[in-house]
Structure 1
Amino acid sequence: MTLSLDQLSRCTVAVDLGAARTRVYLKDTGLVVDEPSLAAVNTRTGSLIAVGSLAEGMAGRTPHHIKVVRPISGGTVVDIDMAQRMLRFLVGNKLRRAWRRKPMVRAAVCLPHDAEPIAQRAAMETLSALGTRRVELVDTLIAAAVGCGLPVEQPEATMIMVCGAASTQVAVLSLGAIVAAEKVQVGGDAIDYAVVQHLRSEHELMLPSQGLHPLHLALFDRSAGGMETEVRGRDVATGLSRTVLVNTAHVREAIQTPLTAVLDAIGRVLRDCPPDLVADLAERGVMLAGGSAMLPGLDTMIEEATGMVVRIAEHPDVCSVMGLGAMMEGKVRPMHLDPLMD
């Protein structure tokens, strides 16, 4: 993946292909697209019916011949054709209006840490639908760190944790490069799945995606102890709507498995770091980014487990694409490490 700021400065569009949302940043314009990575397709004709927010509203409410799909999973394009159609619909008109006189020849896209070559190729082919002639690939961890305002170009340790829908990435950076990093296939979706399975087994209740919101607000509230939260869903046996009182302490126990995997990743990263950088982190702490970083109480849980200060970025969900935009517009100045003359 490229880390050349000179090459990135020649790009005119930055794209963050996330499992949950797709975001597009235009140079000298700003963020122009922030939509769910969803597309609704008519399986009989193959025609695209809706994308983004409109397709999200259709999820779980469509007849049999209409299917809502995710062409992007874990930051990796799994359906190139559908991802191209979705992107073309989301950004086509906006790009034509903003770049009517200036052709868009280069694009930058952030990919998960250690993305496989086939994933890199899929991202490049997807962006070719926008008319790009060259695509620069950037590690999501570096882009998110820049978007959070961390001094990644300095000779000091900065720790970033990108909490996505499908995966969580943890890294320590110094001098504009990754010193140690880990990625686990656990994210916000895994936590939601654990909650849904707990409600199904303990309360015989099938929960719609919208029903998770009240649990998110109470799940990590340590002061609440055995507080109960009212949740509405569908009864497994009768299929009728039913409301139950859920003990959030029991749900918290059900999600310990995915959360433990995230904490283990933090421990492995710290063990792989030189002692001097770990000493820096004891003072500076960990920065949380990504959409799942906004899960209430997640920062407190990590702080209790690691003993380090944990901060959440001001706008954690758009850190990656905003970081790409900052690098495109030359707002990041790396240290010059020229060879010394004898």
Structure 2
Amino acid sequence: MTASLEALRRCHLAVDLGAARTRVYVKGAGVVVDEPSAAAVNTRTGALIAVGTFAEQMTGRTPHYIRVVRPISGGTVVDIEMAQRMLRHLIGEKLRRNLRRNLRLRAAVCTPHEADPLAQRAAIETMVGLGARRVELVDTLVAAAVGCGLPVERPEATMIMACGAATTQVAVLSLGSIVRAERVPVGGEAIDHAIVQHLRQAHELVTPSQSVRPLQLSLSGGGLAQDGPASTEVHGRDVATGVTRSVQVDNAAVRRAIRTPLTAVLDGIGRVLRDCPPDLVADLADTGIMMVGGSALLPGFDDMVRTYTGMPVHIAERPEMCAVRGVGAMLEGEIRPLVLDPLA
């Protein structure tokens, strides 16, 4: 459930808790935090060693007593205490002191569409741990639609596709509300996993998930299409011997491996379109689909959606920042709701 614009204008900061990155918007100052949602913990003492970018760089490179954790999964807080500790260090001592001076601190937090009460409660408890006296929940899809400039308050259909690290959310909006939405448990992490599994099965090569991003981008020019280089050199560890070796990976096979998880996303789009009123679907034939989120930048993904739906597909400018920009615009009072005068 999205809070009213009047309630959001009273908030002092907003947080977009993503599975990949956490972003914090402070009213009047803009985005002050944009860091990976990761924390490194010493399991012997419980001390927090690093957060954000440094903690993410430590993934897979730590001794046994240091563990890199991700307290947020699919936009839902799964470890409240660790999420609070991570946010406190990401925000910094100086900003925390300024926030603590406000005895009536109000905060807004983005939550996935139709998040269950337990997930909503976890998000609220996380913000309360930062000193917030009141917490407003904002639907991530509505915030992202506002952030990429869609006219969500008008009586015409707009369609948004939020491609996150753990999930992909598809929705049709009209008159400032969500008419139909679908949440698919497939995101950038599923694509990385599909590539890792392909390299293991086809080439007997163990590759960390962090190293598959360059392979995705090596599908340059064509991406998921057929043009582009025929093969790419990938380094990894041999399954049998354990030594490092390099292989030439067929990009066509990688494209097929990526298409498998993305089929579930296309099915989600089809379900949303089938359940929408015909008048709204007719609007979408002209306005098309707006893609936001970090995984929207996967080369060729927009062409795949365009071919499946037959509608125009657009990628927002800086798609990974749309949600936090949208909730920030609500905090600053830049969004005006459509006012309907009641008939006498």
8 Å contact from structure 2 (residues 99, 105) kept in 1: no
1:132 and 2:135 aligned: no
The number of aligned residues is 341
**1:10-89 equivalence runs, <5 A:** 10-89=10-89
1:288 and 2:318 aligned: no
Task: Pick from 310, 316, 338 the counterpart of residue 341 of structure 2.
Answer: 338
Amino acid at match of 1:336: V
8 Å contact from structure 1 (residues 156, 174) kept in 2: yes
- Separation (CA, whole Å) in 1 of partners of 2:123 and 2:316: 26
TM-score (norm: length of structure 2): 0.96
Number of the residue aligned with 1:177: 177
Please give the root-mean-square deviation of Cα atoms over the aligned residues, in Å: 1.4
The range that moved more, 68-77 or 209-218, is 209-218
1:235 and 2:238 aligned: yes
**1:167-316 equivalence runs, <5 A:** 167-219=167-219, 220-224=223-227, 227-316=230-319
- Separation (CA, whole Å) in 2 of partners of 1:339 and 1:22: 41
- Separation (CA, whole Å) in 2 of partners of 1:319 and 1:225: 30
Q: 2:11 is paired with a residue of what secondary structure?
A: coil
8 Å contact from structure 1 (residues 152, 174) kept in 2: yes
Structure 1 residues 299 and 76 mapped into 2: Cα distance closer, same or farther (>3 Å)?
same
- Separation (CA, whole Å) in 2 of partners of 1:102 and 1:324: 20
Amino acid at match of 1:132: A
Q: Which runs of 4+ in 1 moved over 3 A?
A: 96-104
Q: 1:120 is paired with a residue of what secondary structure?
A: helix
Q: 1:222 is paired with a residue of what secondary structure?
A: coil
TM-score (norm: length of structure 1): 0.97
- Separation (CA, whole Å) in 1 of partners of 2:77 and 2:100: 28
Structure 1 residues 255 and 137 mapped into 2: Cα distance closer, same or farther (>3 Å)?
same
8 Å contact from structure 1 (residues 160, 170) kept in 2: yes
1:42-67 CA-to-partner distances (Å, cap 9, x unmatched) read 00111111110110111000000000
Offset at residue 103 of structure 1 (A): 4.5
8 Å contact from structure 2 (residues 35, 53) kept in 1: yes
Q: 1:54 is paired with a residue of what secondary structure?
A: helix
Structure 1 residues 333 and 281 mapped into 2: Cα distance closer, same or farther (>3 Å)?
same
8 Å contact from structure 2 (residues 16, 323) kept in 1: yes
- Separation (CA, whole Å) in 2 of partners of 1:104 and 1:190: 41
Structure 2, unaligned runs of 5 or more: none
The range that moved more, 128-137 or 253-262, is 253-262
Structure 1, unaligned runs of 5 or more: none
8 Å contact from structure 2 (residues 224, 301) kept in 1: no
Identity %: 70
